[in-house]
């Protein structure tokens, strides 16, 4: 029976993961422009009050995007941005569900929309609105751009995080597609509620010919709300938001210029593995991969060491990938700092022997002039790799010997009163 339950759980989560066609947790550096990423482009008013990433990431119980990455701040006027997802056409797709966390800090009486789904022809459908209502705000929807906005009677609190699910349902025929809005202030239910909070709205305006983009809109200064939005997930079925992998810990330790990451999962479903990503300037890059354990109901421990880093501040995150290619991010809390070495050191090049490239690392505990040179067996200088003033820190230099012949070479460093020489072998 236990195996049967696990199999059913696996099939359910695999189906959920397969249905996901877009995910955005805004895992970019705080203060960066949304359009500086490879995901988002300006939809209108490009460069005017551009949408900016904020470090105030949102959280919501059991939601897959909760506490992951940062968020985006949507103001009352300026640039609108859009991102593409896998195109869904009428006649082939039943419904599209867009879920996201929302925190509204201000709204105006007239009300305006801040979120929408879009067709490839730039027709904005499934619009979500907010307007001032007493000491709080109402939420509303339109299917396309109806003159009358369908607002709900519920009054929501400013500065409280809610989870919204917008549903666009393709219906056969003309001008009869449906849009619904679900709003939650506690955990997202596993199954879709029978009755939405607003809708279904069926307007006489034209149906969407397809859905292929998500739009974040800053509206008009006289009507738009001020909101923080985070954790956009777009699915073809109701998103139960159950994470396929649950992390119970994610920590780091520093040893000189090496960083070791350790993490533990308490459960795994359909887990292919983890890409390890690092950032030192707001740009993330993959530095390694660790295989997952597929399906597991017991603790699994993982480790990865990032070696020979230069002095500086680094951020790390895990990209957990399932066997369908879907993924979630887990960010390491805080930055990792590689400090200043305690003494001078010249390390053995790696790899050695090498062909044709190798890396030479050295440690400088104080600021000063550094010279690093390469010599052949006769003592003739072949190349100067470094010849400049360096601030205290850890350094690595890549050397390409494609223009040299096989043999023994020597590299020598001079920094203040410190000198050292090591041998390396080029084998072609």
Residue 261: pLDDT above 50? yes
How much is the pLDDT for 45? 80
Residue 71: pLDDT above 80? yes
Q: Which helix (H) or strand (E) holds 12?
A: helix 2-19
Residue 17: pLDDT above 80? no
How much is the pLDDT for 187? 78
Between CA 333 and CA 329 the distance in angstroms is 13
pLDDT confidence tier of residue 381, bands split at 50, 70 and 90: very high
Q: Which residue has the higher pLDDT, 19 or 2?
A: 19
How much is the pLDDT for 328? 80
Between CA 16 and CA 8 the distance in angstroms is 12
How much is the pLDDT for 14? 39
Q: Would you tell me how many other CB atoms lie within 10 Å of the CB of residue 53? A: 23
Q: Would you tell me how many other CB atoms lie within 10 Å of the CB of residue 91? A: 8
Lowest mean pLDDT among 17-26, 179-188, 353-362, 364-373: 17-26
CATH number of 345-426: 2.60.40.1930
Residue 269: pLDDT above 90? no
Token pair belonging to 175? 């001008």
Lowest mean pLDDT among 2-6, 166-170, 416-420: 2-6
Q: Would you tell me how many other CB atoms lie within 10 Å of the CB of residue 218? A: 26
Q: Which residues contact 391 (CB under 8 A, 6 or more apart)?
A: 364, 367
Plot region of 178 (φ>0 → left; ψ -120 to 50 → alpha; else → beta): beta
Q: Which residue has the higher pLDDT, 347 or 7?
A: 347
How much is the pLDDT for 5? 37
Between CA 349 and CA 408 the distance in angstroms is 13
Tell me the β-bridge partners of 52.
33, 73
pLDDT confidence tier of residue 243, bands split at 50, 70 and 90: low
Lowest mean pLDDT among 51-65, 103-117, 408-422: 51-65
How much is the pLDDT for 11? 38
What tens digit of pLDDT does each residue of 157-169 get?
Answer: 999 999 999 999 9
pLDDT confidence tier of residue 343, bands split at 50, 70 and 90: very high
CATH class for the region spanning 245-338: mainly beta
What tens digit of pLDDT does each residue of 87-137 get?
Answer: 999 888 899 999 999 999 999 999 999 999 998 777 889 999 999 999 999
What are the domain boundaries of the chain? Answer: 20-235, 245-338, 345-426
How much is the pLDDT for 3? 39
At 214, is the secondary structure helix, strand, or coil? strand
- Per-residue pLDDT, averaged over 260-265, amounts to 96
pLDDT confidence tier of residue 240, bands split at 50, 70 and 90: low
- Per-residue pLDDT, averaged over 301-326, amounts to 90
CATH of 20-235, one of 2.40.110.10, 2.60.40.10, 2.60.120.200, 3.30.365.10: 2.60.120.200
CA angle 420, 422, 426 (to 5 degrees): 150
How much is the pLDDT for 404? 95
- Per-residue pLDDT, averaged over 56-79, amounts to 87
Residue 313: pLDDT above 80? yes
How much is the pLDDT for 64? 76
How much is the pLDDT for 90? 87
Token pair belonging to 269? 């479903």
Between CA 425 and CA 69 the distance in angstroms is 45
Q: Would you tell me how many other CB atoms lie within 10 Å of the CB of residue 156? A: 18
CA dihedral angle for residue 153, residue 63, residue 232, residue 205, rounded to 10 degrees: -40
How much is the pLDDT for 401? 95
Q: Which residue has the higher pLDDT, 334 or 288?
A: 288
Which residues in 256-299 belong to E strands, given as ranges?
258-279, 285-296
Q: Order of strands, edge to edge, in the sheet holding 381-390?
A: 381-390, 368-375, 407-415, 418-426
Q: DSSP code of 14? A: H
- Per-residue pLDDT, averaged over 332-347, amounts to 92
What tens digit of pLDDT does each residue of 130-151 get?
Answer: 999 999 999 999 998 888 999 9
Residue 275: pLDDT above 50? yes
What tens digit of pLDDT does each residue of 203-216 get?
Answer: 888 899 899 999 99
pTM for the model stands at 0.58
Between CA 177 and CA 301 the distance in angstroms is 48
Average pLDDT, the chain: 89
How much is the pLDDT for 145? 83
Q: DSSP code of 309? A: P
The Cβ-side half-sphere exposure at 220, using a 13 Å CA radius, reads 8
Q: Which residues contact 199 (CB under 8 A, 6 or more apart)?
A: 141, 150, 167, 178, 179, 180, 181
Please report the DSSP string for 125-149 in residue order. EEEEEEEEETTEEEEEEESSS-SS-
Q: Are 13 and 270 in contact (CB under 8 A)?
A: yes
Residue 8: pLDDT above 70? no
Between CA 143 and CA 125 the distance in angstroms is 5
How much is the pLDDT for 18? 46
Between CA 196 and CA 362 the distance in angstroms is 63
Between CA 114 and CA 127 the distance in angstroms is 7
CATH topology of 20-235 equal to that of 345-426? no
């Amino acid at each position: 029976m236990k195996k049967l339950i696990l199999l059913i759980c696996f099939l359910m989560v695999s189906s959920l993961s397969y249905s996901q066609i877009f995910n955005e947790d805004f895992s970019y550096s705080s203060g960066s422009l949304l359009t500086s990423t490879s995901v988002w482009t300006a939809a209108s008013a490009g460069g005017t009050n551009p949408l900016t990433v904020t470090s105030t990431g949102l959280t919501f119980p059991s939601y897959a995007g909760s506490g992951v990455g940062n968020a985006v701040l949507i103001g009352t006027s300026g640039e609108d941005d859009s991102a593409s997802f896998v195109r869904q056409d009428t006649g082939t797709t039943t419904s599209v569900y867009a879920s996201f966390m929302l925190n509204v800090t201000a709204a105006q009486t007239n009300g305006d929309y801040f979120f929408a789904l879009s067709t490839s022809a730039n027709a904005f459908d499934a619009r979500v609105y907010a307007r001032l209502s007493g000491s709080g705000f109402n939420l509303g929807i339109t299917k396309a751009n109806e003159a009358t906005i369908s607002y709900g009677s519920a009054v929501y609190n400013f500065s409280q995080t809610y989870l919204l699910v917008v549903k666009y349902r393709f219906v056969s025929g003309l001008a009869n597609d449906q849009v619904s809005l679900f709003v939650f202030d506690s955990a997202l239910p596993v199954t879709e509620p029978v009755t939405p909070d607003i809708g279904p709205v069926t307007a006489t305006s034209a149906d969407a010919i397809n859905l292929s983009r998500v739009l974040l809109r800053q509206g008009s200064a006289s009507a738009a709300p001020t909101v923080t939005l985070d954790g956009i997930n777009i699915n073809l079925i109701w998103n139960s938001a159950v994470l396929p992998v649950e992390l119970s810990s994610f920590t780091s330790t520093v040893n000189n210029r090496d960083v070791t990451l350790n993490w533990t999962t308490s459960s795994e479903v359909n887990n292919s593995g983890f890409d390890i990503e690092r950032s030192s300037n707001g740009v993330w890059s993959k530095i390694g991969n660790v295989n997952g354990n597929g399906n597991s109901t017991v603790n699994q421990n993982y480790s990865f060491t990032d070696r020979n880093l230069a002095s500086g501040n680094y951020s790390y995150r895990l990209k957990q990938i399932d066997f369908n290619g879907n993924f979630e991010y887990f960010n390491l809390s805080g930055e990792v700092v590689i400090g200043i070495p305690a003494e001078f050191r010249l390390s053995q090049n790696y790899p050695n022997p090498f062909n044709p490239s190798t890396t030479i690392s050295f440690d400088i505990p104080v600021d000063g002039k550094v010279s690093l040179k390469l010599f052949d067996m006769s003592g003739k200088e072949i190349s100067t790799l470094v010849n400049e003033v360096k601030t205290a820190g850890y350094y690595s230099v890549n050397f390409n010997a494609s223009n040299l012949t096989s043999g023994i070479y020597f590299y020598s460093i001079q920094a203040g009163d410190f000198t050292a020489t090591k041998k390396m072998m080029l084998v072609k």
